[in-house]
Structure 1
Amino acid sequence: MLFAIFDVAIVVFLYTSQPESLAEELLTLEAGKANSTETLPRDLLAGPPGAKRWVVRIVDTPHRPRAPEQLRAPNGTARLIDWTQRERVAGGYRISGVRSVGSPQHPYWLFMEFEGGGIRPYAPVIGNEIVQHVALPLIPLSVLMLLFNIVAVRRVLRPLRRAESEVDALDPENGLTRLSEPPSPREVVTLVSAVNRALDRLEATMGTLRLFTANAAHELRTPLSIMQMALMQLPPGKERDALRNDTEMMIRLVGQLLDLTQAESLVVEADQRVDLAGVGREIVAELTPKAYAMDREIRFTDLGAATIAGHREAIVRIYRNLIENALSHAPGPTPIEVVVGPGPQISVRDHGKGIEESDLAFIFDRAC
């Protein structure tokens, strides 16, 4: 839009600074209203807008003698040619001239003369020039610019869309994933590089947090073990049993916290296979003495087809945590039922009151 306005301003300035050219164009434009029948149309007889005096007449045709005094050019030439003369008069200017019109079969000549002032009579000429030299060239140019902008914008946005897809596909459990940097444009490359650097800083921060948690859990084990041995030296009684249970719960929580921090750094090899039934039997055999001491029973059932790709140590921790939680929360002498299969699944049932319905949505939250 600004370019078009600037172009129009240039056309107006150039033509207003060349009054002779305006006069020639004006007479040519008015003569173009004539037809080949030697009958002057009404719009030609009306003349240009704002003309104080307008005269137009046919001065030569194949059937009408020439009027030499009207055909004579300002330089004195009496030949039949197009000519234009502009002269100053009181209150403005006078423009006169001759133009050849009609068809090749019926040619004739027009003499035109008008007096006026200001730029208003030239409005049709300037408007015609704006249409021909501004509007018409700008239409294809605007279409080409629009197509170019569409292609350019799509090319620029293509790597952004790819980066958006990669951001949406980022896995919180895999902190090593980064966005692929496109070769161009430079602005998109800079943005993607900044995002990757932010991911690097975030991964470093999470690594520091995991390391702190692991160290804290590891350091807590020793004082808790010492506390547990010191409790064994207290006289038997309800208070000692209560303190012992609380200490065992703290030891179990610290162990689970350490298992959690270690599990986040586990890498599962593609060819690493684990037999859920075999691991289940080992853990049940390991925890059975503890269950008997609590007057409890652990029942194990293998329904088959339970070999999966996974990390054996992590699965051992899952078994142990589930069974220990069942032993801690199941009521009375009810059995703990461990079932493997069919297929890649395990279940531990403790016959307790279960989880409150209001808490089901939060059972996988770490804070619960």
Structure 2
Amino acid sequence: MSRRRLHSLQLRLVLPLVFLFIVGAAVIVGFVIWRAYDSADSLADRELSLRAADLASYLVRQPDGTARLDLPENLRQAYGAAPAADIFAIRGADGRLIAAMPQSFGSVVERWTSASEHAGYFHLKELPGRSDDYYGLGLALDSAAGPVSVWVARANGATALVHSMLEEFVFDIAWVIPLFMLLALGIAILTTRKALAPVRALSEVAGSIGPSTTAVRLPQASLPSEIEPLVAAVNRALDRLEQGFAVQRQFTANAAHELRTPLAIVTGALEGMDPSPELDKLKLDVARMNRLVGQLLSVARLDAIALDVSGMVDLNDVARQAVANMAPWALAQSRRLAFDGARHPVVVSGNVHAIDDAVRNLVENAVAHAPPESEVIVSARPDGRIEVSDCGPGVPPQDRERIFDRFWRSKAAPAHGAGLGLAIVAEIMKAHGGRAEVSAGAEGGAVFTLAFPMSAAAR
């Protein structure tokens, strides 16, 4: 089991329930069995007490004043039918034996003290002429012949049938109890899962929140009351975070705007100066600053304004125009720029200006990394892809995910880069519902791909 599942709230709720139901089932089954056997013993004791009272009720006083047991014929036959199972003995207040069955039990009882009004239990292990153990009780009772002591007992195996019937009953219902417990446990687990469903939905919403979706808030409806304060606190934190992002974006846009005018003045002043090596270096630095300011403005626009991608754009035309516009610049950098177009229009839904910016950024990146006198190829594919390939050093596999992060630059990147160009490309593709990827070229170098979802008209 993974560490994450061990820390699951659902598991923490269910495991105590499982333990409780298992212990509860065991306790209930044990209690039912104990009560069944206890009830069997209680029934046996009550039967003996009733039998003793029944025997006392059949005592009569004879004319000479002595007591005699006058059993009805049916009771006499019942006792005679099981002489080894049921035994009794009756003594008068003077200690004389009135009646006994068998007589050997009467001989034993004659040596005992008189019974009291509270039942006194006994276990008779040995009875002359009998091999059974007997369990019984003695009671002091009133009768027509006066106070008497009555002892009744039953052989140990005589209650086997009752115990057997009780055992069968217990085991017939014992398996139902764990089944019921399992059913109740299943209902408890399903109820727990249902109760935690809003929390799982909450986590999905939380996972979708990022720098570009800071306006999203966690829903507070149908949440357990224990979690509502946490969700409310997280939403307040997101409010503060969104405000911080807004201030940062506004600052970036304002700073970029404020820098454009001084840079334009500096660029114009440098153009009017006499050529020199120092001037060429200054012009390169100013060009880099102009490029950085332009990228910052692009980032600010992408962050602040939702891009309209509802137009129909022919990727073939966009790629061809970008190559035509940037070819002179590439030649000035001692690189060649080529175009490999599709035979038919490649139409996608998008924003033509944003797609052009993405292609230009990829071309600038490829030219910066390609060796002198090499060729950068821009291709438009029928399946909605634009590829820009170069013959440079390529991108190591471990850097291919991070290369589209803002301000991230590899150690081998040119010094004039700011780490924003590819991040802008990724944001543009995200707005179009597509993706930006990088892979190794067939003959070395890198291949950057803009993959667009095809429009319904193109399909």
> Above 0.5 in TM-score?
yes
Change (3 A) 1:155 1:340: closer
The gaps in structure 2 that reach 5 residues or longer are: 1-38, 60-67, 70-89, 95-114, 122-135, 142-176, 410-459
> 1: CA distance between counterparts of 2:313 and 2:307?
11
Report how many residues are paired. Answer: 269
Contact preservation (8 Å) 1:60, 1:67: no
Q: Residue in 2 aligned with 1:287?
A: 326
**Structure 2 residue corresponding to 1:60, chosen from 52, 56, 63:** 56
Q: Residue in 2 aligned with 1:97?
A: 117
> 2: CA distance between counterparts of 1:208 and 1:288?
39
> 1: CA distance between counterparts of 2:41 and 2:391?
106
Contact preservation (8 Å) 2:199, 2:223: no
Contact preservation (8 Å) 2:314, 2:346: yes
- CA displacement, residues 286-336 of structure 1 (integer Å, 9 cap, x when unaligned): 323433444544322212453222233321211222223334443333333
**Structure 2 residue corresponding to 1:344, chosen from 380, 384, 409:** 384
Counterpart amino acid of residue 246 in structure 1: D
Change (3 A) 1:350 1:218: farther
Contact preservation (8 Å) 1:214, 1:257: yes
Contact preservation (8 Å) 2:336, 2:375: yes
Contact preservation (8 Å) 1:57, 1:112: no
Counterpart amino acid of residue 260 in structure 2: R
> 2: CA distance between counterparts of 1:185 and 1:295?
66
How far does residue 202 in structure 1 lie from its aligned partner after superposition?
1.8
Change (3 A) 1:347 1:30: closer
Contact preservation (8 Å) 1:308, 1:344: yes
Q: Residue in 1 aligned with 2:295?
A: 256
Counterpart amino acid of residue 111 in structure 1: L
Q: Residue in 1 aligned with 2:219?
A: 180
**Structure 2 residue corresponding to 1:34, chosen from 11, 29, 45:** 45
Superposition TM-score, scaled by structure 1 size: 0.58
Change (3 A) 1:186 1:350: same
Q: Residue in 2 aligned with 1:236?
A: 275
Superposition TM-score, scaled by structure 2 size: 0.48
Change (3 A) 1:37 1:293: closer
Contact preservation (8 Å) 1:58, 1:110: no
Q: Residue in 2 aligned with 1:309?
A: 349
Deviation larger for 347-356 or 274-283: 347-356
**Structure 1 residue corresponding to 2:317, chosen from 273, 278, 281:** 278
> 2: CA distance between counterparts of 1:168 and 1:359?
24
Change (3 A) 1:273 1:360: same
Change (3 A) 1:356 1:152: closer
Q: Residue in 2 aligned with 1:111?
A: 139
Identity %: 35
- CA displacement, residues 61-97 of structure 1 (integer Å, 9 cap, x when unaligned): 6577477869xxxxxxxxxxxxxxxxxxxxxxxx952
Listed as ranges, the matches of 1:125-164 within 5 Å are 153-164=192-203
Residue 324 (str. 1) matches residue 364 (str. 2): yes
How far does residue 186 in structure 1 lie from its aligned partner after superposition?
2.8
**Structure 1 residue corresponding to 2:246, chosen from 207, 216, 221:** 207
- CA displacement, residues 215-262 of structure 1 (integer Å, 9 cap, x when unaligned): 222222222222222222332122222221222122112212221222
How far does residue 214 in structure 1 lie from its aligned partner after superposition?
1.9
> 2: CA distance between counterparts of 1:329 and 1:30?
97
The gaps in structure 1 that reach 5 residues or longer are: 1-27, 41-55, 71-94, 102-107, 114-138
Say what the alpha-carbon RMSD is for the aligned residues.
4.4
Deviation larger for 246-255 or 358-367: 358-367
Contact preservation (8 Å) 2:116, 2:138: no
**Structure 2 residue corresponding to 1:191, chosen from 227, 230, 252:** 230
